[in-house]
Amino acid sequence: MWELSENKSTPIYQQIMEQIITYIQDGTLQPGDRLPAERKLADYYQVNRSTVVHALDELVSLGWVLRRQGSGTVVNEGNWGRSTIPRVDWRSLFTQESHPKEPFLEKLQQLLNDPEAVDLYSGELPLNLIPDFRFPSYTWEELLLEERKQSPLGYRPLQQVICQRIKADQKIEVSSDQVLITSGAQQAMFLLLQVMLQSGDSVAIEDPSFLYSLPIFATAGIKLYGVEMDKEGMRIDKLEQLILTKKIKLIILNPTFQNPTGSTMSKKRRNELIELSRKYQLPIVEDEVFSEMNFDEIPPSLKELASHQVIHLGSLSKIFGSSIKIGWIVADRDLIQRLSEAKQMMDFSISVFPQVIAHTALTDPRFEQNQKDLVVELEQRAAAFIEAAQVVAEDWDFSAIDGGIYVYFTWRHQKLTRTDWEIFLREKLLIAPAFLFSNDTMAMRVNYTRLTEGTREQFFLKLQTISKELRRN
């Protein structure tokens, strides 16, 4: 009973934990049963006593067993405080010290509803650009019938449409059991962390990256490392250095119209990245939420270049607005299965409503045309924005916009401090400074799609005033 199967790659203490949890779940160990003494367990498993102590400590902290003075370690008789892997350290999510609120963001959020404020901070299209659809009226009974089409991986008709779109856009064949519907791309990321990584593991991301500010990594005990970028994307030499020095377990990136820089990784760089990830056997997560907002042809997705090496994330938040909160993970079957189990364990089931809405929108005969119209409108806004931006070109460096919703402005002069950025709040010009995405304080992310002909002029006038003040500081 107390022995481990050979050739498992997980650490021994975890194998011991998993075995004891299995014994409790299948009834081999009953509530109140006493486990053998630590020394005995160490003998049985043929490991150091410290390994057994480590496993038991973890089981105590997860609530599966209790240590009782005088009677050793016993199986917990109730479910209170019991958790299992995957798990989140909720306590650390709620402690102020581990996630201090960003003062700039707090002030900015108060201004979001101010009618005088120009909001180029929010990461969404303005309401009037989000394609409009008419939804068929469902009776309650019809909706309940749709509910029957839910599988543990999601609403089947939606999974199928996503498979078709992936085939059309990325020329890869995926079947429904390789697609897991999630509540947005962020939940997809959260599930991946829970299933693929352990507390203490390291992940490489782009520097700057929107992931830098997400608390889910710190909460799961995951260390983030940023990889410098150049015009072609994440630098492969820098990434390799990190892999060697920080024992990176996973690479996560947003290769197309990146948040916050708006830049797109070149095809050559994508191939080099795949080659490196093969060399070190590292999986890649590609977060492709903007790839349908392209003005011209874009390089093939990483998934298309190396199907088994890459986990692909998509979302409808960027084209339909974040209230719809529908995203998906495309990966190999085994991983999708494990992610789905983790999702069920955490009770992250998604109601059929937003899935039916997403399915209706994606299969609407006008969808393709709406999508084309949207891209044309974005391209016009981008061109007008870049033309108007020439008035600040002496102070700010920026690149052409090829798609997506962001453009990145880098200050050309003296070093800026965090306090310098307060001027933007005073002027009610809401942008996202680089320190939200990195240690950098010299740049800002602007969501250009939110500017119309009228507000564009207002934006650049304000930016000129602010730039003058910044130069004086």
Ligand X SMILES: Cc1ncc(COP(=O)(O)O)c(C=O)c1O
**Residue 299: which residues within 8 A CB-CB, separation 6 or more?**
255, 256, 264, 265, 266, 267, 270
Residue 245: Cβ within 10 Å count: 10
Q: Which is nearer to ligand X, 17 or 358 (CB)?
A: 358
**Preceding omega of 103 cis (within 30 degrees of 0):** no
Binding span for ligand X by CB under 6 A among 127-135, 182-190, 196-204, 230-238: 182-190
Q: Which two tokens stand for residue 206?
A: 């782009």
**Applying CB under 6 A, does 253 fall inside the site for ligand X?**
no
Please tell me whether residue 158 adopts helix, strand or coil conformation: helix
Shortest Cβ 288–ligand X spacing (Å):
8
Interaction with ligand X in 286-345: which residues (CB under 6 A)? Answer: 287, 289, 315, 317, 322, 327
State which residue, 45 or 408, has the beta carbon closest to ligand X. Answer: 408
Q: Please give the backbone phi and psi of residue 395, each rounded to the nearest 5 degrees, phi first.
A: -100, -30
Q: How far is the CB of 98 from ligand X (least distance, A)?
A: 22
Interacting residues of 325 by C-beta distance below 8 A, sequence separation 6+: 183, 184, 317, 354
How many positions of this chain bind ligand X (CB under 6 A)?
A: 13
Stretch in the footprint of ligand X (CB under 6 A) among 184-192, 338-346, 355-363, 445-453: 184-192
Nearer to ligand X, 2 or 225 (CB): 225
Containing 63, the helix (H) or strand (E) segment is none
Nearer to ligand X, 322 or 455 (CB): 322
Minimum distance from CB of 86 to ligand X (Å)?
A: 19
Q: What is the rounded distance in angstroms from the CA atom of residue 320 to the CA atom of residue 323?
A: 8
Name which of 424 and 437 has its Cβ closer to ligand X: 437
Three-state secondary-structure class, residue 461: helix
One symbol per residue from 202 to 241: x for binding ligand X (CB under 6 A), - otherwise; what is it? --------x-------------------------------
Name residues whose C-beta falls within 8 Å of residue 52's C-beta, 6 or more positions apart in sequence.
13, 16, 38, 41, 42, 45
Cβ-based nearer residue to ligand X, 12 or 346: 346
Closest to ligand X by CB, 65 vs 444, is 444
* Least distance from ligand X to the Cβ atom of residue 49, Å: 45
* Kind of pairing between the strands at 233-234 and 248-253: unpaired
**Residue closer to ligand X (CB basis): 287 or 420:** 287
Which amino acid makes up residue 341?
E
- Smallest separation, CB 326 to ligand X (Å): 7
**Rounded-to-integer distance, Cα 96 and Cα 290, Å:** 33
Residue with tokens 């022995």: 3
Q: What is the CA radius of gyration of the chain?
A: 25
Q: Does 122 bind ligand X (CB under 6 A)?
A: no
Site for ligand X in 375-394 (CB under 6 A): none
Interaxial angle between packed helices 156-170 and 352-363, expressed in degrees from 0 to 180 and rounded to the nearest 10: 40
Minimum CB distance to ligand X, residue 124 (Å): 8
103 by DSSP, 3-state: which?
helix
Site stretch for ligand X (CB under 6 A), options 31-39, 181-189, 343-351, 417-425: 181-189
Give least dist CB 318 to ligand X, A: 7
- Tell me which stretch binds ligand X (CB under 6 A): 104-112, 178-186, 351-359, 456-464: 178-186
CB-wise, 186 or 264, nearer to ligand X? 186
Minimum Å distance from CB 358 to ligand X? 11
Among 123, 126, 221, 321, binds ligand X (CB under 6 A): 123
**Residue of 226, 305, 302, 304 lying closest to 261 (CA atoms):** 226
Instruction: Supply angle C-alpha 138, 140, 142, rounded to 5.
Output: 60
Closer by beta carbon to ligand X, 76 or else 259:
259
* Pick 184 or 226: Cβ nearer ligand X: 184
Q: What is the DSSP string of 18-61?
A: HHHHHHHHTTSS-TTPBPPPHHHHHHHHTS-HHHHHHHHHHHHH
Can you tell me whether residue 243 is helix, strand or coil?
helix
> Which of 259, 263, 291, 447: binder of ligand X (CB under 6 A)?
259
Q: Which is nearer to ligand X, 185 or 378 (CB)?
A: 185
Contact 292, 319 (CB under 8 A): yes
Q: How far is the CB of 413 from ligand X (least distance, A)?
A: 29
CB 266, CB 299: distance < 8 Å? yes
Opening angle at CA 125, ends 376 and 110, nearest 5: 155
**Contact between 185 and ligand X per CB under 6 A:** yes
Q: Which stretch binds ligand X (CB under 6 A): 157-165, 183-191, 228-236, 332-340?
A: 183-191
Report the nearest approach of ligand X to the CB of residue 40 (Å). 49
Taking CB positions, which residue lies at the least distance from ligand X? 184
**Of positions 86, 154, 157, 184, contacts ligand X by CB under 6 A:** 184
Return d(Cα 31, Cα 18) in angstroms, integer.
Answer: 17
Span near ligand X by CB under 6 A; candidates 146-154, 179-187, 298-306, 367-375: 179-187
Which residues of the chain form contacts with ligand X (CB under 6 A)? 123, 184-186, 210, 254, 259, 287, 289, 315, 317, 322, 327
